[in-house]
């Protein structure tokens, strides 16, 4: 049986053309394209040499739904219907689904999920690179907990390490590359509670850069590195209370520090020595749609690769599209997909700059969001706009919006919860009307006052829905849209990328990256 299967596979490539001619639909373009894809897949070869480099791309909150929205948006921006477009990472040969739950959360946050990439273990929500034995905020237990990070492992082997992020570098995803903390909120010393001896996250980056573990950082978050008596290039005050200027501590005499686009462009990536620190905002970097006087994610990725690739032993680079997550939280899909497109551009550039034979590239997300899509929309409906009718006599939509049972049009995309909720708090209702019995299962005592929410969907036009600042309609009222616990996709290429297969636990990603770069046999 095994011999027959092997012979069938070996002969399949040769028979593709004849099989294509054997069926009446062979001249159909969809059929021909699928046959071509089959031939490509049959020629695919696994790369099993040791990876010199590994690049981990994480678009924060870029679940399957957000990835889909970005794909359609980009394709439509390029003049197509959108759904047929292929993003750079979607053309990678290997794919897996990743479970994102944490040890105490069906729905995760970015701290333990990003830590799973960098330490190989799952843990509780809100902690970074400590084990499940440690509770949130337990400084004493955290001090006793030993977890080695991928950055430290590869640095000990002589490799260089870089971090690129559009969020604050002390925010959860970027921090997971270098820090250990019992609370993701401990970004500087003023946020660490009295009596907790754990160093704040910014101080940990300073230590890791001074120790030579982290070599290149491009991100935001200047305020956590400056004392409260000093201001940055934009006149924003630092927030540290201990008087330390961590930027000066990191760069010293031989390091490089940049704050603006102009300073960034002056970096001699072919010859610069010492640590490189680029902090382009006091907090998070700007959304791609609003970006000014700071480099794009692709530009930062390119510079980081140029610097890190000078190391003959190779490198580990983590690149985060951090603001994909923030725009989702705001219910602002227009900015979400623009940051998603910028993320894809960084992937394409990194792929062009590296060789498949020596660089493992992994593209994934830390978690999903409560974003979903309505039906039944005709092809070419603007992903940011109204859901147009399906055209029975052609391909493109009818141009007439579908109507819901309330006789109002609806957008292609919406959120299950968030600030765009169609339910509005009735602030003018008197106390007697909002004191209602509450189900004991909710944990509130019967008779406790609670706000009464009522509402109906407002009318929305195509012009309103496609505006950059439009907030998608949502159901459940929330001050910020929430994460989702659903699986996320992972795309990979390069050495040992074929190990990413099926449905895997999130912490497995660390183990494949470590194996590919540290344990696999060299060819």
Catalytic positions are 110
The annotation status of 284 as a binding-site residue, yes or no, is no
The annotation status of 224 as a binding-site residue, yes or no, is no
Q: Transcribe 478-510 into DSSP letters.
A: -SSPPEE-S-EEEEEESTTGGG--EEEETTHHH
Residue 221 token pair: 């978050």
Cα separation of 470 and 472, whole Å? 6
Query: Is the torsion defined by CA of 484, 486, 491, 496 positive or negative?
Result: positive
Phi–psi pair at 180, nearest 5 degrees: -130, 130
Q: What is the DSSP letter of 41?
A: H
Mark residue 117 as left, alpha or beta (left: phi above 0; alpha: psi -120 to 50; beta: remaining): alpha
Residue 407: Cβ within 10 Å count = 7
Residue 294 token pair: 């700071």
Say if residues 356 and 493 touch (Cβ distance below 8 Å).
yes
Say if residues 343 and 349 touch (Cβ distance below 8 Å).
no
Cα separation of 153 and 150, whole Å? 5
DSSP SS3 for 121: coil
Query: Is the torsion defined by CA of 117, 45, 304, 287 positive or negative?
Result: negative
Residue 406 token pair: 């309330």
Per DSSP, what are the bridge partners of residue 379? 396
Phi–psi pair at 400, nearest 5 degrees: -105, 125
The annotation status of 368 as a binding-site residue, yes or no, is no
DSSP SS3 for 194: coil
Q: Transcribe 285-348 into DSSP letters.
A: PPPGGG--SS--HHHHHHHHHHHHTTSTT-EEEEEEETHHHHHHHTT-HHHHHHHHHHHHHHHH
The annotation status of 171 as a binding-site residue, yes or no, is yes
Cα separation of 188 and 186, whole Å? 6
Euclidean distance between the first and the last CA atom of the chain, given in angstroms as a whole number: 33
Q: How, if at all, do strands 94-99 and 488-493 pair?
A: antiparallel
Q: How far is CA 400 from CA 384, 386, 391, 420, 462, in A?
A: 16, 9, 10, 24, 11
Q: How, if at all, do strands 453-454 and 160-168 pair?
A: unpaired
The annotation status of 320 as a binding-site residue, yes or no, is yes
The annotation status of 89 as a binding-site residue, yes or no, is no
The annotation status of 188 as a binding-site residue, yes or no, is no
Residue 380 token pair: 């070419």
Mark residue 90 as left, alpha or beta (left: phi above 0; alpha: psi -120 to 50; beta: remaining): alpha
Residue 148 token pair: 């080695």
Q: Which residues are annotated as a binding site?
A: 60, 171, 173, 320, 325, 329, 366-367, 483
Q: Which residues are annotated as a binding site for Mg(2+)?
A: 60, 171, 173, 320
Q: Which residues are annotated as a binding site for Zn(2+)?
A: 60, 325, 329, 366-367, 483
């Amino acid at each position: 049986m095994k011999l027959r299967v092997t012979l069938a596979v070996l002969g399949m490539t040769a028979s593709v053309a004849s099989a294509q001619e054997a069926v009446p639909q062979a001249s159909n373009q969809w059929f021909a394209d699928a046959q071509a894809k089959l031939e490509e897949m049959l020629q695919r070869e696994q790369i099993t040499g040791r990876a010199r480099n590994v690049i981990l791309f994480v678009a924060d909150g870029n679940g399957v739904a957000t990835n889909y929205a970005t794909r359609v948006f980009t394709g439509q921006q390029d003049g197509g219907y959108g759904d047929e477009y292929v993003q750079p990472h979607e053309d990678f040969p290997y794919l897996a689904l990743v479970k994102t739950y944490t040890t105490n959360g069906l729905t995760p946050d970015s701290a333990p999920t990003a830590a799973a990439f960098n330490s190989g273990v799952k843990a509780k929500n809100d902690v970074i690179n400590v084990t499940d034995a440690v509770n949130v905020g337990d400084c004493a237990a955290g001090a006793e907990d030993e977890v080695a990070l991928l950055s430290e492992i590869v640095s000990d082997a002589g490799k260089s390490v870089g971090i690129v992020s559009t969020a604050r570098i002390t925010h959860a995803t970027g921090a997971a590359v270098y820090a250990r903390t019992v609370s993701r909120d401990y970004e500087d010393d003023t946020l660490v509670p009295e009596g907790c001896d754990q160093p704040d996250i910014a101080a940990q980056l300073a230590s890791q850069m001074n120790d030579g573990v982290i070599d290149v950082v491009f991100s935001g978050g200047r305020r956590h590195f400056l004392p409260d008596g000093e201001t940055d290039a934009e006149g924003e005050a630092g927030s540290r209370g201990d008087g330390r200027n961590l930027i000066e501590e990191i760069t010293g005499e031989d390091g490089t520090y940049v704050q603006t686009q102009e300073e960034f462009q002056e970096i001699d990536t072919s010859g610069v020595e010492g640590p490189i620190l680029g902090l382009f905002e006091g907090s998070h970097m700007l959304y791609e749609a609003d970006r000014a006087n700071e480099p794009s994610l692709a530009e930062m990725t390119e510079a980081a690769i140029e610097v890190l690739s000078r190391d003959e032993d190779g490198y580990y680079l983590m690149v985060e599209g951090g603001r994909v997550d923030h725009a989702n939280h705001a219910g602002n899909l227009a900015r979400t997909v623009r940051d998603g497109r910028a993320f894809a551009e960084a992937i394409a550039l990194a792929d062009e700059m590296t060789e498949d034979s020596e660089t493992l590239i992994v593209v994934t997300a830390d978690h999903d969001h409560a974003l979903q899509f309505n039906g039944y929309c005709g092809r070419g409906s603007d992903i940011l706009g109204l859901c147009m009718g399906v055209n029975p006599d052609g391909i493109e939509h009818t141009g007439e919006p579908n109507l819901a049972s309330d006789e109002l049009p609806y957008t292609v995309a919406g959120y299950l919860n968030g600030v765009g909720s169609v339910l509005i708090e009735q602030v003018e209702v008197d106390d007697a009307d909002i004191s209602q019995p509450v189900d004991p299962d909710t944990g509130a005592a019967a008779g406790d006052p609670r706000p009464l929410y009522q509402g109906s969907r407002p009318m929305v036009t195509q012009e309103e829905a496609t505006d950059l600042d439009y907030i998608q309609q949502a159901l459940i009222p929330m001050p910020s849209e929430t994460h989702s616990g659903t699986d996320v996709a992972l795309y990979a290429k390069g050495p040992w990328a074929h190990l990413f297969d099926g449905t895997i636990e999130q912490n497995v990603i660390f183990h494949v990256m470590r194996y590919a770069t540290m344990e696999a046999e060299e060819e």
